[in-house]
Amino acid sequence: MGLEVSRRPRARLDLIEIWTYVADDNEAAADRLLRRIDSVLDMLADTPLAGRARPELHPEIRSFPVGNYVVFYVVQPAAMDVVRVLSRYRDITGEDLDEGS
């Protein structure tokens, strides 16, 4: 049994923005992308250390690519906390992962 997956409010907003952006051209593709992201989150819940450690961004953060996006998350004892889901083309800094961003 994998870890429980929780999405921080900013990560939930990221997913809405991603769906809206992709759906402007193709709703079916937007739905497929979010299903793919959910599938990766399920996989990470089972193997949370599969993602790359990102100490340059935050001591506890890990990341895993999904197509043109990157899932940023923190592994807790009983949960995997999704912090953000951002474009892989973006220059990510630690500030992008702060709660206020």
Taking only the tens place, the pLDDT of each residue in 84-99 is 999 999 999 899 998 6
Rounded to two decimals, the pTM is 0.93
For residue 27, give the CATH number of its domain: 3.30.2310.20
Residue environment code for 13-22, b if the CB has 16+ CB neighbours within 10 A, otherwise e: ebbeebbeeb
Taking only the tens place, the pLDDT of each residue in 13-25 is 999 999 999 999 9
Taking only the tens place, the pLDDT of each residue in 22-39 is 999 999 999 999 999 999
Q: Of 23, 60, 15, 57, which is closest to residue 40 (Cα–Cα)?
A: 15
Could you tell me if residue 70 is inside a domain?
A: yes
Could you tell me if residue 26 is inside a domain?
A: yes
What is the extent of the structural domain holding 85?
4-91
Could you tell me if residue 100 is inside a domain?
A: no
Task: Report residue 14: phi and psi, to 5°.
Answer: -55, -45
Alpha carbons 21 and 73: distance in angstroms, whole number? 22
Could you tell me if residue 32 is inside a domain?
A: yes
User: Average pLDDT in the 31-55 region?
Assistant: 97
